[in-house]
Structure 1
Amino acid sequence: MINERNQEVLIDIQNLKSIYGTKSNSILALDNINLQIKRGEFLCILGPSGCGKSTLLKTLAGYIRPSSGACLMQGKPITGPDRHRGVVFQSPTLYPWMSVKDNVEFGPKMRELPAKEIEEIRTHFLEQVKLTGFSEKATFELSGGMKQRVALARVLANYPQVILMDEPFGALDALTRVNMQTLIRDIWKENNSTIFLITHDIDEALSLGTRIVIMSKRPGRILKEFNIDFTHTIFNNNLKHVMYNEEYFNLKNEILDIINSQIEE
Protein backbone atom coordinates (compact mmCIF):
# COMPACT_ATOMS: atom_id res chain seq x y z
CA MET A 1 0.00 0.00 0.00
CA ILE A 2 0.96 3.66 -0.50
CA ASN A 3 2.22 5.38 2.63
CA GLU A 4 -0.38 8.12 3.00
CA ARG A 5 1.88 10.33 5.07
CA ASN A 6 4.25 10.64 2.12
CA GLN A 7 1.55 11.37 -0.45
CA GLU A 8 1.43 14.81 -2.03
CA VAL A 9 -1.71 16.81 -1.24
CA LEU A 10 -3.27 17.80 -4.58
CA ILE A 11 -6.44 19.47 -3.28
CA ASP A 12 -6.80 21.06 0.14
CA ILE A 13 -10.30 22.07 1.27
CA GLN A 14 -10.25 24.38 4.27
CA ASN A 15 -13.34 25.38 6.30
CA LEU A 16 -15.44 25.32 3.12
CA LYS A 17 -18.94 26.74 3.32
CA SER A 18 -21.34 26.96 0.37
CA ILE A 19 -24.59 28.94 0.42
CA TYR A 20 -27.17 29.07 -2.38
CA GLY A 21 -29.60 31.94 -2.91
CA THR A 22 -30.05 35.37 -1.33
CA LYS A 23 -30.08 36.21 2.38
CA SER A 24 -33.85 35.97 2.71
CA ASN A 25 -34.06 32.76 0.72
CA SER A 26 -30.65 31.16 1.23
CA ILE A 27 -29.78 27.50 1.66
CA LEU A 28 -26.65 26.34 3.47
CA ALA A 29 -25.47 23.43 1.29
CA LEU A 30 -22.03 22.74 2.79
CA ASP A 31 -20.72 23.70 6.22
CA ASN A 32 -17.17 23.56 7.55
CA ILE A 33 -15.76 21.01 5.12
CA ASN A 34 -12.10 20.20 5.77
CA LEU A 35 -10.64 17.57 3.47
CA GLN A 36 -7.42 16.76 1.66
CA ILE A 37 -7.19 14.78 -1.57
CA LYS A 38 -3.81 13.11 -1.96
CA ARG A 39 -2.07 12.02 -5.11
CA GLY A 40 -2.84 8.43 -6.10
CA GLU A 41 -5.82 7.86 -3.84
CA PHE A 42 -9.33 6.81 -4.84
CA LEU A 43 -11.64 8.86 -2.65
CA CYS A 44 -15.34 7.95 -2.55
CA ILE A 45 -18.02 10.26 -1.14
CA LEU A 46 -21.20 8.81 0.33
CA GLY A 47 -24.18 10.53 1.92
CA PRO A 48 -27.97 10.95 1.76
CA SER A 49 -29.55 12.68 -1.24
CA GLY A 50 -29.32 16.46 -1.05
CA CYS A 51 -26.34 16.46 1.32
CA GLY A 52 -24.17 18.61 -0.95
CA LYS A 53 -21.99 15.95 -2.60
CA SER A 54 -22.44 17.41 -6.08
CA THR A 55 -21.98 20.95 -4.74
CA LEU A 56 -18.63 19.84 -3.33
CA LEU A 57 -17.61 18.31 -6.66
CA LYS A 58 -18.65 21.45 -8.59
CA THR A 59 -16.55 23.53 -6.20
CA LEU A 60 -13.53 21.29 -6.79
CA ALA A 61 -14.14 21.49 -10.55
CA GLY A 62 -14.21 25.29 -10.37
CA TYR A 63 -17.82 25.65 -11.53
CA ILE A 64 -18.88 27.45 -8.34
CA ARG A 65 -16.97 29.51 -5.79
CA PRO A 66 -16.98 28.83 -2.04
CA SER A 67 -19.13 31.21 0.02
CA SER A 68 -16.32 31.15 2.57
CA GLY A 69 -13.25 29.08 3.29
CA ALA A 70 -10.73 27.93 0.70
CA CYS A 71 -10.36 25.25 -1.95
CA LEU A 72 -6.75 24.95 -3.10
CA MET A 73 -5.13 22.96 -5.91
CA GLN A 74 -1.45 22.44 -5.12
CA GLY A 75 -1.54 25.49 -2.90
CA LYS A 76 -3.34 27.81 -5.34
CA PRO A 77 -7.04 28.79 -5.09
CA ILE A 78 -9.36 27.07 -7.55
CA THR A 79 -10.97 29.93 -9.46
CA GLY A 80 -12.47 28.15 -12.48
CA PRO A 81 -12.49 24.98 -14.57
CA ASP A 82 -9.08 23.59 -15.47
CA ARG A 83 -7.92 20.62 -17.56
CA HIS A 84 -5.98 19.36 -14.52
CA ARG A 85 -9.35 18.52 -12.92
CA GLY A 86 -11.34 16.41 -15.37
CA VAL A 87 -15.05 15.81 -14.73
CA VAL A 88 -17.16 12.78 -15.64
CA PHE A 89 -20.90 13.24 -14.98
CA GLN A 90 -23.71 10.68 -14.65
CA SER A 91 -24.92 11.58 -18.14
CA PRO A 92 -22.10 11.57 -20.71
CA THR A 93 -21.50 15.19 -21.74
CA LEU A 94 -20.32 14.45 -25.27
CA TYR A 95 -20.52 16.63 -28.36
CA PRO A 96 -23.23 14.75 -30.31
CA TRP A 97 -22.28 16.27 -33.65
CA MET A 98 -18.72 14.90 -33.29
CA SER A 99 -17.44 11.38 -33.80
CA VAL A 100 -15.87 9.37 -31.00
CA LYS A 101 -12.46 10.31 -32.41
CA ASP A 102 -13.22 14.03 -32.45
CA ASN A 103 -14.62 13.98 -28.92
CA VAL A 104 -11.47 12.38 -27.52
CA GLU A 105 -9.19 14.66 -29.54
CA PHE A 106 -11.00 17.86 -28.55
CA GLY A 107 -8.87 18.70 -25.49
CA PRO A 108 -5.48 18.00 -27.09
CA LYS A 109 -6.52 20.06 -30.13
CA MET A 110 -7.49 22.98 -27.89
CA ARG A 111 -3.99 22.76 -26.41
CA GLU A 112 -2.64 22.90 -29.98
CA LEU A 113 -0.56 19.76 -29.65
CA PRO A 114 1.13 18.35 -32.79
CA ALA A 115 -1.14 16.19 -34.96
CA LYS A 116 1.01 13.09 -34.40
CA GLU A 117 0.82 13.47 -30.62
CA ILE A 118 -2.96 14.00 -30.77
CA GLU A 119 -3.32 10.78 -32.76
CA GLU A 120 -1.16 8.87 -30.26
CA ILE A 121 -3.18 10.21 -27.31
CA ARG A 122 -6.49 9.29 -28.95
CA THR A 123 -5.30 5.80 -29.92
CA HIS A 124 -3.91 5.12 -26.45
CA PHE A 125 -6.99 6.16 -24.48
CA LEU A 126 -9.54 4.57 -26.83
CA GLU A 127 -7.58 1.37 -26.37
CA GLN A 128 -7.52 1.87 -22.61
CA VAL A 129 -11.32 2.23 -22.43
CA LYS A 130 -11.72 -0.70 -24.85
CA LEU A 131 -13.16 1.27 -27.78
CA THR A 132 -10.53 0.57 -30.41
CA GLY A 133 -12.31 0.38 -33.76
CA PHE A 134 -15.09 2.79 -32.77
CA SER A 135 -13.25 6.05 -33.47
CA GLU A 136 -15.32 6.98 -36.54
CA LYS A 137 -18.68 6.18 -34.95
CA ALA A 138 -21.12 8.97 -34.11
CA THR A 139 -21.71 9.13 -30.37
CA PHE A 140 -25.50 8.78 -30.78
CA GLU A 141 -24.90 5.29 -32.20
CA LEU A 142 -23.34 4.08 -28.95
CA SER A 143 -24.87 2.40 -25.92
CA GLY A 144 -24.94 4.18 -22.54
CA GLY A 145 -21.89 2.32 -21.28
CA MET A 146 -19.92 3.03 -24.45
CA LYS A 147 -20.81 6.74 -24.28
CA GLN A 148 -19.53 6.85 -20.72
CA ARG A 149 -16.29 5.23 -21.83
CA VAL A 150 -15.89 7.92 -24.51
CA ALA A 151 -16.51 10.57 -21.86
CA LEU A 152 -13.83 8.97 -19.70
CA ALA A 153 -11.36 8.78 -22.61
CA ARG A 154 -12.00 12.46 -23.39
CA VAL A 155 -11.15 13.39 -19.79
CA LEU A 156 -8.06 11.15 -19.73
CA ALA A 157 -6.79 12.70 -22.97
CA ASN A 158 -6.12 15.92 -21.03
CA TYR A 159 -3.94 14.04 -18.50
CA PRO A 160 -5.75 15.55 -15.50
CA GLN A 161 -4.11 15.38 -12.10
CA VAL A 162 -7.51 14.65 -10.50
CA ILE A 163 -10.55 12.95 -12.06
CA LEU A 164 -13.85 14.09 -10.54
CA MET A 165 -16.73 11.65 -11.07
CA ASP A 166 -20.34 12.45 -10.16
CA GLU A 167 -22.20 9.11 -10.01
CA PRO A 168 -20.78 8.15 -13.41
CA PHE A 169 -22.30 4.67 -13.43
CA GLY A 170 -25.67 5.48 -11.85
CA ALA A 171 -27.67 5.37 -15.09
CA LEU A 172 -26.17 2.11 -16.36
CA ASP A 173 -27.64 -1.38 -16.15
CA ALA A 174 -26.23 -3.68 -13.46
CA LEU A 175 -23.87 -5.70 -15.69
CA THR A 176 -22.52 -2.64 -17.53
CA ARG A 177 -22.04 -0.93 -14.19
CA VAL A 178 -19.90 -3.77 -12.83
CA ASN A 179 -17.82 -3.79 -16.02
CA MET A 180 -17.32 -0.02 -15.79
CA GLN A 181 -16.26 -0.32 -12.15
CA THR A 182 -13.63 -2.88 -13.17
CA LEU A 183 -12.50 -0.62 -16.00
CA ILE A 184 -12.10 2.48 -13.83
CA ARG A 185 -10.28 0.49 -11.14
CA ASP A 186 -7.81 -0.85 -13.71
CA ILE A 187 -7.29 2.61 -15.25
CA TRP A 188 -6.76 4.14 -11.80
CA LYS A 189 -4.02 1.63 -11.05
CA GLU A 190 -2.40 1.63 -14.51
CA ASN A 191 -2.27 5.44 -14.75
CA ASN A 192 -1.64 6.06 -11.04
CA SER A 193 -4.64 8.39 -11.22
CA THR A 194 -6.22 10.37 -8.40
CA ILE A 195 -10.00 9.93 -8.37
CA PHE A 196 -12.77 11.68 -6.43
CA LEU A 197 -16.00 9.70 -6.91
CA ILE A 198 -19.51 10.51 -5.71
CA THR A 199 -21.80 7.51 -5.36
CA HIS A 200 -24.95 6.35 -3.58
CA ASP A 201 -23.78 2.73 -3.81
CA ILE A 202 -21.93 1.53 -0.69
CA ASP A 203 -20.68 -1.61 -2.47
CA GLU A 204 -19.29 0.55 -5.28
CA ALA A 205 -17.42 2.72 -2.78
CA LEU A 206 -16.05 -0.30 -0.91
CA SER A 207 -14.91 -2.10 -4.05
CA LEU A 208 -13.22 0.94 -5.63
CA GLY A 209 -12.08 3.34 -2.93
CA THR A 210 -8.96 3.59 -0.84
CA ARG A 211 -10.81 6.06 1.38
CA ILE A 212 -14.51 6.68 2.02
CA VAL A 213 -15.92 9.96 3.34
CA ILE A 214 -19.48 10.01 4.68
CA MET A 215 -21.42 13.27 4.66
CA SER A 216 -24.37 14.33 6.78
CA LYS A 217 -27.74 15.49 5.56
CA ARG A 218 -27.92 19.16 4.55
CA PRO A 219 -26.03 21.21 5.45
CA GLY A 220 -23.38 18.75 4.38
CA ARG A 221 -20.67 18.09 6.93
CA ILE A 222 -18.14 15.28 7.12
CA LEU A 223 -19.33 12.70 9.63
CA LYS A 224 -16.69 10.00 9.32
CA GLU A 225 -13.83 8.75 7.15
CA PHE A 226 -12.69 5.19 6.54
CA ASN A 227 -9.35 4.10 5.05
CA ILE A 228 -10.04 0.82 3.24
CA ASP A 229 -7.99 -1.80 1.46
CA PHE A 230 -10.40 -3.93 -0.58
CA THR A 231 -9.37 -2.55 -3.97
CA HIS A 232 -5.67 -3.22 -3.22
CA THR A 233 -6.62 -6.76 -2.19
CA ILE A 234 -8.21 -7.30 -5.61
CA PHE A 235 -4.93 -6.43 -7.34
CA ASN A 236 -2.66 -8.18 -4.84
CA ASN A 237 -4.57 -11.43 -5.20
CA ASN A 238 -5.14 -11.11 -8.95
CA LEU A 239 -8.91 -11.13 -8.51
CA LYS A 240 -11.69 -9.67 -10.67
CA HIS A 241 -13.99 -8.66 -7.83
CA VAL A 242 -13.85 -7.76 -4.16
CA MET A 243 -13.61 -10.57 -1.59
CA TYR A 244 -16.74 -10.50 0.56
CA ASN A 245 -15.72 -11.34 4.11
CA GLU A 246 -16.73 -10.47 7.66
CA GLU A 247 -14.67 -7.26 7.62
CA TYR A 248 -16.42 -6.14 4.42
CA PHE A 249 -19.95 -6.76 5.71
CA ASN A 250 -19.23 -5.21 9.13
CA LEU A 251 -17.94 -2.06 7.46
CA LYS A 252 -20.84 -1.95 5.01
CA ASN A 253 -23.34 -2.24 7.87
CA GLU A 254 -21.57 0.49 9.86
CA ILE A 255 -21.70 2.86 6.87
CA LEU A 256 -25.33 1.97 6.19
CA ASP A 257 -26.25 2.70 9.81
CA ILE A 258 -24.56 6.13 9.66
CA ILE A 259 -26.35 7.11 6.43
CA ASN A 260 -29.73 5.74 7.57
CA SER A 261 -29.45 7.68 10.84
CA GLN A 262 -29.28 10.88 8.75
CA ILE A 263 -32.35 9.93 6.73
CA GLU A 264 -34.43 8.92 9.76
CA GLU A 265 -33.75 12.00 11.87
Structure 2
Amino acid sequence: MVLLEARNVGYKYPRSDDQSISQVSLALNSNSLNVIIGPSGIGKSTLLNLIAGYAMPQAGELLMNGARITQASWQRGIVFQDMALYPWLNVSQNITFGPRMRKLPATQIEQRLTSLLTQTGLLDFKNKYVYELSGGLRQRVALAREFINQPAILMLDESFSALDNHIRKEMHQILLDLWTSSGNCVIVITHDIDEALFLGQKIIVMNGDPGTIKQTVVNPYFKSNFDDMTSNMAYFDFRRALLALIE
Protein backbone atom coordinates (compact mmCIF):
# COMPACT_ATOMS: atom_id res chain seq x y z
CA MET A 1 0.00 0.00 0.00
CA VAL A 2 1.41 3.39 -1.04
CA LEU A 3 1.81 5.59 2.03
CA LEU A 4 3.87 8.49 0.65
CA GLU A 5 3.77 9.84 -2.87
CA ALA A 6 5.74 12.68 -4.47
CA ARG A 7 4.44 13.96 -7.79
CA ASN A 8 6.86 16.09 -9.83
CA VAL A 9 8.00 17.99 -6.74
CA GLY A 10 10.19 21.07 -7.17
CA TYR A 11 11.64 23.50 -4.64
CA LYS A 12 13.85 26.60 -4.67
CA TYR A 13 15.10 28.22 -1.46
CA PRO A 14 14.16 31.87 -0.86
CA ARG A 15 16.74 34.33 -2.21
CA SER A 16 18.31 31.59 -4.33
CA ASP A 17 18.48 31.73 -8.11
CA ASP A 18 18.82 27.98 -8.50
CA GLN A 19 16.34 25.15 -8.03
CA SER A 20 17.30 22.75 -5.26
CA ILE A 21 15.21 19.84 -6.57
CA SER A 22 13.01 19.43 -9.62
CA GLN A 23 10.58 16.84 -11.01
CA VAL A 24 11.00 14.52 -8.02
CA SER A 25 8.53 11.64 -8.13
CA LEU A 26 8.43 8.58 -5.91
CA ALA A 27 6.02 6.23 -4.16
CA LEU A 28 6.89 4.58 -0.84
CA ASN A 29 4.92 1.89 0.94
CA SER A 30 4.17 1.47 4.61
CA ASN A 31 6.37 -1.14 6.34
CA SER A 32 9.32 -0.33 4.08
CA LEU A 33 12.94 0.71 4.63
CA ASN A 34 14.19 3.12 1.98
CA VAL A 35 17.58 4.79 1.52
CA ILE A 36 18.25 7.99 -0.43
CA ILE A 37 21.83 8.38 -1.60
CA GLY A 38 23.56 10.94 -3.80
CA PRO A 39 26.27 13.62 -3.90
CA SER A 40 26.37 16.41 -1.32
CA GLY A 41 24.18 19.41 -2.12
CA ILE A 42 21.90 17.45 -4.43
CA GLY A 43 18.72 18.16 -2.43
CA LYS A 44 18.34 15.04 -0.28
CA SER A 45 17.78 16.97 2.95
CA THR A 46 15.52 19.41 1.10
CA LEU A 47 13.29 16.50 0.10
CA LEU A 48 13.11 15.26 3.70
CA ASN A 49 12.16 18.73 4.95
CA LEU A 50 9.36 18.86 2.39
CA ILE A 51 8.10 15.42 3.39
CA ALA A 52 8.22 16.47 7.05
CA GLY A 53 6.12 19.53 6.20
CA TYR A 54 8.73 22.08 7.29
CA ALA A 55 8.49 23.71 3.86
CA MET A 56 6.04 23.50 0.98
CA PRO A 57 6.97 22.55 -2.60
CA GLN A 58 6.64 25.27 -5.21
CA ALA A 59 5.85 22.70 -7.89
CA GLY A 60 4.08 19.37 -7.73
CA GLU A 61 2.67 17.86 -4.55
CA LEU A 62 3.46 15.51 -1.69
CA LEU A 63 0.73 13.15 -0.50
CA MET A 64 0.46 10.97 2.60
CA ASN A 65 -2.36 8.42 2.50
CA GLY A 66 -3.71 10.34 -0.50
CA ALA A 67 -3.95 13.68 1.36
CA ARG A 68 -1.66 16.60 0.53
CA ILE A 69 1.01 17.41 3.11
CA THR A 70 0.47 21.01 4.19
CA GLN A 71 2.17 21.23 7.59
CA ALA A 72 4.46 19.42 10.02
CA SER A 73 3.00 16.48 11.95
CA TRP A 74 4.11 13.95 14.56
CA GLN A 75 3.07 11.34 11.98
CA ARG A 76 6.26 12.20 10.10
CA GLY A 77 9.22 12.14 12.48
CA ILE A 78 12.78 13.09 11.60
CA VAL A 79 16.12 12.41 13.32
CA PHE A 80 18.86 14.88 12.40
CA GLN A 81 22.61 14.35 12.61
CA ASP A 82 22.88 16.79 15.53
CA MET A 83 20.02 14.95 17.31
CA ALA A 84 18.57 18.18 18.86
CA LEU A 85 18.06 16.59 22.27
CA TYR A 86 17.06 18.68 25.29
CA PRO A 87 20.08 18.92 27.66
CA TRP A 88 17.93 20.00 30.63
CA LEU A 89 15.94 16.75 30.46
CA ASN A 90 17.06 13.25 31.31
CA VAL A 91 16.86 10.28 28.92
CA SER A 92 13.32 9.24 29.86
CA GLN A 93 12.05 12.83 29.73
CA ASN A 94 13.62 13.38 26.31
CA ILE A 95 12.07 10.21 24.91
CA THR A 96 8.59 10.90 26.29
CA PHE A 97 8.50 14.60 25.40
CA GLY A 98 6.32 14.14 22.31
CA PRO A 99 3.57 11.93 23.73
CA ARG A 100 3.47 14.05 26.90
CA MET A 101 2.88 17.17 24.79
CA ARG A 102 0.09 15.29 23.00
CA LYS A 103 -1.33 14.38 26.43
CA LEU A 104 -1.42 10.63 25.85
CA PRO A 105 -2.39 8.54 28.90
CA ALA A 106 0.48 8.18 31.37
CA THR A 107 0.21 4.39 31.48
CA GLN A 108 0.45 4.20 27.69
CA ILE A 109 3.51 6.47 27.68
CA GLU A 110 5.18 4.40 30.39
CA GLN A 111 4.55 1.14 28.52
CA ARG A 112 6.04 2.54 25.32
CA LEU A 113 8.99 4.01 27.22
CA THR A 114 9.87 0.75 28.96
CA SER A 115 9.70 -1.15 25.68
CA LEU A 116 11.92 1.34 23.86
CA LEU A 117 14.46 1.61 26.69
CA THR A 118 14.80 -2.17 26.52
CA GLN A 119 15.04 -2.32 22.72
CA THR A 120 17.66 0.42 22.54
CA GLY A 121 19.73 -0.76 25.52
CA LEU A 122 19.04 2.43 27.48
CA LEU A 123 17.34 0.93 30.53
CA ASP A 124 20.35 1.56 32.77
CA PHE A 125 20.63 5.16 31.54
CA LYS A 126 16.99 6.25 31.83
CA ASN A 127 17.70 8.80 34.58
CA LYS A 128 20.93 10.15 33.07
CA TYR A 129 21.07 13.56 31.43
CA VAL A 130 22.00 13.48 27.76
CA TYR A 131 25.23 15.44 28.30
CA GLU A 132 26.42 12.50 30.41
CA LEU A 133 26.09 10.09 27.47
CA SER A 134 28.38 9.10 24.62
CA GLY A 135 27.50 10.01 21.04
CA GLY A 136 26.21 6.51 20.33
CA LEU A 137 23.95 6.52 23.39
CA ARG A 138 22.61 9.97 22.51
CA GLN A 139 21.75 8.70 19.04
CA ARG A 140 19.80 5.85 20.65
CA VAL A 141 17.85 8.43 22.65
CA ALA A 142 17.11 10.39 19.47
CA LEU A 143 15.80 7.27 17.73
CA ALA A 144 13.68 6.24 20.71
CA ARG A 145 12.27 9.78 20.98
CA GLU A 146 10.86 9.50 17.46
CA PHE A 147 9.77 5.87 17.60
CA ILE A 148 7.76 6.44 20.80
CA ASN A 149 5.40 8.64 18.76
CA GLN A 150 4.76 5.69 16.44
CA PRO A 151 4.95 7.87 13.32
CA ALA A 152 3.79 6.42 10.02
CA ILE A 153 6.96 7.83 8.42
CA LEU A 154 10.33 8.15 10.16
CA MET A 155 13.23 9.93 8.45
CA LEU A 156 16.93 9.91 9.35
CA ASP A 157 19.14 12.63 7.87
CA GLU A 158 22.77 11.40 8.00
CA SER A 159 22.00 10.35 11.58
CA PHE A 160 24.89 7.88 11.92
CA SER A 161 27.60 9.71 9.95
CA ALA A 162 29.48 11.01 13.01
CA LEU A 163 29.73 7.58 14.67
CA ASP A 164 32.66 5.20 14.39
CA ASN A 165 32.18 1.97 12.44
CA HIS A 166 31.54 -0.26 15.45
CA ILE A 167 28.91 2.02 16.98
CA ARG A 168 27.36 2.62 13.55
CA LYS A 169 26.83 -1.12 13.06
CA GLU A 170 25.14 -1.30 16.46
CA MET A 171 22.85 1.56 15.44
CA HIS A 172 22.01 -0.18 12.17
CA GLN A 173 20.82 -3.24 14.07
CA ILE A 174 18.84 -1.16 16.58
CA LEU A 175 17.15 0.68 13.72
CA LEU A 176 16.27 -2.58 12.00
CA ASP A 177 14.84 -4.01 15.23
CA LEU A 178 12.75 -0.90 15.88
CA TRP A 179 11.51 -0.82 12.29
CA THR A 180 10.60 -4.53 12.39
CA SER A 181 8.52 -4.03 15.54
CA SER A 182 6.86 -0.82 14.32
CA GLY A 183 6.14 -1.63 10.68
CA ASN A 184 6.40 2.01 9.64
CA CYS A 185 7.98 3.59 6.57
CA VAL A 186 11.60 4.56 7.24
CA ILE A 187 13.61 6.87 4.95
CA VAL A 188 17.37 7.10 5.52
CA ILE A 189 19.69 9.66 3.92
CA THR A 190 23.32 8.60 3.77
CA HIS A 191 26.55 9.22 1.86
CA ASP A 192 27.82 5.75 2.80
CA ILE A 193 27.25 3.25 -0.02
CA ASP A 194 27.68 0.24 2.27
CA GLU A 195 25.24 1.68 4.80
CA ALA A 196 22.77 2.12 1.93
CA LEU A 197 23.26 -1.49 0.82
CA PHE A 198 22.75 -2.81 4.35
CA LEU A 199 19.75 -0.69 5.33
CA GLY A 200 17.81 -0.16 2.10
CA GLN A 201 15.17 -2.51 0.77
CA LYS A 202 14.88 0.16 -1.90
CA ILE A 203 17.76 2.49 -2.82
CA ILE A 204 16.81 5.86 -4.33
CA VAL A 205 19.65 7.58 -6.17
CA MET A 206 19.48 11.38 -6.47
CA ASN A 207 21.70 13.32 -8.85
CA GLY A 208 21.64 16.14 -11.39
CA ASP A 209 21.38 19.92 -11.30
CA PRO A 210 18.82 20.59 -9.95
CA GLY A 211 18.56 17.37 -7.96
CA THR A 212 16.13 14.74 -9.13
CA ILE A 213 15.66 11.01 -8.72
CA LYS A 214 17.95 9.37 -11.22
CA GLN A 215 17.04 5.77 -10.46
CA THR A 216 15.29 3.62 -7.86
CA VAL A 217 16.56 0.08 -7.40
CA VAL A 218 15.37 -2.87 -5.34
CA ASN A 219 18.31 -4.00 -3.22
CA PRO A 220 18.96 -7.78 -3.26
CA TYR A 221 21.60 -7.32 -0.52
CA PHE A 222 19.34 -5.77 2.11
CA LYS A 223 20.76 -6.60 5.57
CA SER A 224 23.89 -8.16 4.01
CA ASN A 225 26.93 -6.92 5.92
CA PHE A 226 29.80 -5.61 3.78
CA ASP A 227 32.29 -7.75 5.73
CA ASP A 228 30.32 -10.87 4.76
CA MET A 229 30.28 -9.92 1.06
CA THR A 230 34.04 -9.67 0.47
CA SER A 231 34.06 -12.71 -1.84
CA ASN A 232 30.75 -12.00 -3.55
CA MET A 233 31.60 -10.51 -6.95
CA ALA A 234 27.94 -9.89 -7.80
CA TYR A 235 27.71 -7.69 -4.71
CA PHE A 236 30.69 -5.62 -5.83
CA ASP A 237 29.28 -5.31 -9.36
CA PHE A 238 26.02 -4.02 -7.89
CA ARG A 239 27.94 -1.67 -5.59
CA ARG A 240 30.01 -0.31 -8.50
CA ALA A 241 26.86 0.30 -10.55
CA LEU A 242 25.36 2.33 -7.70
CA LEU A 243 28.56 4.35 -7.33
CA ALA A 244 28.52 5.10 -11.05
CA LEU A 245 24.97 6.48 -10.72
CA ILE A 246 26.06 8.70 -7.84
CA GLU A 247 29.19 9.99 -9.52
Structure 2 gaps, min length 5: none
Secondary structure, counterpart of 1:83 in structure 2:
coil
1:70-219 to 2 correspondences below 5 Å: 70-219=61-210
Q: Which residue of 1 aligns with 2:10?
A: 17
Q: Distance in 2 between matches of 1:160 and 1:117?
A: 16
Q: Distance in 2 between matches of 1:34 and 1:240?
A: 30
Q: Distance in 2 between matches of 1:105 and 1:187?
A: 16
Q: Which residue of 1 aligns with 2:241?
A: 254
Could you tell me how far 1:191 is from its partner in structure 2?
Answer: 2.4
Return the letter of the residue paired with 2:154: I
Could you tell me how far 1:240 is from its partner in structure 2?
Answer: 11
Could you tell me how far 1:241 is from its partner in structure 2?
Answer: 7.0
Return the letter of the residue paired with 1:247: A
Q: 1:151 to 1:108 in 2, by over 3 A?
A: same
For residues 205-233 of structure 1, give each alpha carbon's deviation from its aligned partner in whole angstroms, at most 9, with x where no partner exists: 0011100011113310111111013236x
Q: Which residue of 2 aligns with 1:30?
A: 21
Identical positions, percent = 40
For residues 154-201 of structure 1, give each alpha carbon's deviation from its aligned partner in whole angstroms, at most 9, with x where no partner exists: 001100011111011011112111111121122222322311010000
Structure 1 gaps, min length 5: 1-7, 261-265
For residues 112-151 of structure 1, give each alpha carbon's deviation from its aligned partner in whole angstroms, at most 9, with x where no partner exists: 1222211111111111111112111001000011001001
Q: Distance in 1 between matches of 2:32 and 2:234?
A: 21
Could you tell me how far 1:28 is from its partner in structure 2?
Answer: 0.3
Q: Distance in 2 between matches of 1:62 and 1:218?
A: 23
Q: Distance in 1 between matches of 2:111 and 2:226?
A: 29
Q: Distance in 1 between matches of 2:229 and 2:177?
A: 17
Q: Distance in 1 between matches of 2:130 and 2:209?
A: 37
Q: Distance in 1 between matches of 2:21 and 2:142?
A: 28
Query: TM-score, normalized by length of structure 2?
Result: 0.95
Q: Which stretch shifts more, 155-164 or 216-225? A: 216-225
Q: Which residue of 2 aligns with 1:4?
A: none
Q: CA RMSD in A?
A: 1.6
Q: Which residue of 2 aligns with 1:226?
A: 217
For residues 37-82 of structure 1, give each alpha carbon's deviation from its aligned partner in whole angstroms, at most 9, with x where no partner exists: 1111111001111000000000001111101110011111111111
Q: 1:141 to 1:127 in 2, by over 3 A?
A: same
Q: Distance in 2 between matches of 1:57 and 1:172?
A: 21
Query: TM-score, normalized by length of structure 1?
Result: 0.89
From 39, 64, 69, the equivalent of 2:30 is: 39
How many residues align? The count is 246
Q: Which residue of 2 aligns with 1:48?
A: 39
For residues 6-30 of structure 1, give each alpha carbon's deviation from its aligned partner in whole angstroms, at most 9, with x where no partner exists: xx111110010001124xx422000
